[in-house]
């Protein structure tokens, strides 16, 4: 079985490398061809177009930035003609409704579709320690779980297509909300002349503590947001997706609107491609 991999950016590249390390035949495609050279050297076949990658593969994994990119790469007139009898596994972060629409398009073209978004960043992807959430039928899950175990040892079937996408968005909402809340508290204690480590010692001993605070603390203290595992622009995209989905089911998501504003300010400050901890700059700008 040959695996096609469309999208080899920050997360896609280590995931494709995991498949190659497992001695699986892999065909890769990326709109930026320069991102494929290391995978070519590792043994991947490099496709010149999405259509070539799809036609050369039995199963195609998507790790693309958003639904618009997926539509452009997977659902062009030429690409759709190649989907018959192929399985698409969508692993990026999109909304439940977007995933369900993709399923409709793929099945309509004669293919099969499931979603498997992941929680974790580049180190977990490289080590095969991601949390893999699957939206699929039981039959699909049983068929593809061995493949997905290359990315995380315990893939979890959440429910039908849309449910795993929902859990992924819910988790990413916590990333943006928790990080913004922590940045605000950190900026405040700094402003008040409190020794940061005193604040952190108390926080770590409390029920309020989340490990992500320590993961982002040094970046914020140093104001160094280079070499991101997850850039600001992607967190803003996911926050907007969550807001739209939550509002559509009559949830009061007004608290998240302020978080979105912080992320938008960070983006306006030129921090789109920096680590999302750069939202600290929007909350506590240097004077």
Instruction: Give the Cα separation of 253 and 174 in Å (integer).
Output: 12
Q: Torsions phi, psi of 276, nearest 5? A: -65, -15
pLDDT the model gives residue 69: 93
Per-residue pLDDT of the chain (287 residues; tens, 9 = 90+): 899 999 999 999 999 999 999 999 999 999 888 889 999 999 999 999 999 999 999 999 999 999 999 999 999 989 999 999 999 999 999 999 999 999 999 999 999 999 999 999 999 999 999 999 999 999 999 999 999 999 999 999 999 999 999 999 999 999 999 999 999 999 999 999 999 999 999 999 999 999 999 999 999 999 999 999 999 999 999 999 999 999 999 999 999 999 999 999 999 999 999 999 999 999 999 87
Predicted TM-score (pTM) of the model is 0.94
pLDDT the model gives residue 1: 87
Q: Is residue 210 a contact partner of residue 181, using CB atoms and an 8 Å limit?
A: no
pLDDT the model gives residue 32: 84
Calculate the dihedral angle through the C-alpha atoms of 156, 123, 171, 259, rounding to the nearest 10 degrees.
-170
Token duo for residue 247:
């509002």
């Amino acid at each position: 079985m040959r695996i096609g991999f469309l999208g080899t950016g920050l997360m896609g590249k280590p995931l494709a490398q995991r498949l190659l390390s497992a001695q699986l035949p892999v065909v890769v495609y990326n709109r930026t061809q320069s991102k494929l050279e290391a995978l070519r050297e590792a043994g991947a076949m490099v496709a010149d177009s999405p259509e070539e990658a799809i036609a050369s593969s039995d199963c195609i994994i998507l790790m693309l930035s958003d639904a618009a990119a997926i539509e452009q790469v997977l659902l062009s007139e030429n690409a759709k003609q190649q989907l018959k009898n192929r399985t698409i596994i969508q692993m990026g972060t999109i909304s439940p409704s977007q995933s369900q629409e993709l399923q409709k398009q793929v099945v309509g073209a004669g293919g099969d579709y499931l979603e498997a978004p992941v929680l974790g960043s580049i180190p977990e992807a490289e080590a095969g320690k991601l949390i893999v959430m699957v939206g699929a039928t039981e039959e699909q899950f049983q068929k593809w779980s061995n493949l997905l175990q290359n990315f995380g040892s315990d893939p979890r079937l959440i429910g039908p297509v849309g449910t795993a996408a929902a859990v992924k968005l819910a988790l990413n909402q916590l990333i943006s909300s928790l990080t913004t809340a922590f940045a605000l508290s950190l900026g405040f204690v700094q402003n008040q002349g409190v020794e940061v480590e005193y604040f952190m010692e108390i926080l770590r001993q409390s029920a309020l503590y989340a490990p992500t605070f320590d993961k982002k603390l040094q970046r914020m203290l140093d104001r160094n947001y280079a070499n991101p595992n997850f850039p600001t622009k992607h967190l803003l995209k996911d926050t907007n997706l969550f807001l739209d989905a939550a509002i559509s089911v009559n949830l009061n998501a007004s608290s998240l609107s302020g978080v979105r504003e912080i992320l938008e300010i960070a983006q306006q400050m030129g921090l789109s491609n920096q680590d999302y901890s750069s939202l600290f700059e929007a909350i506590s700008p240097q004077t």
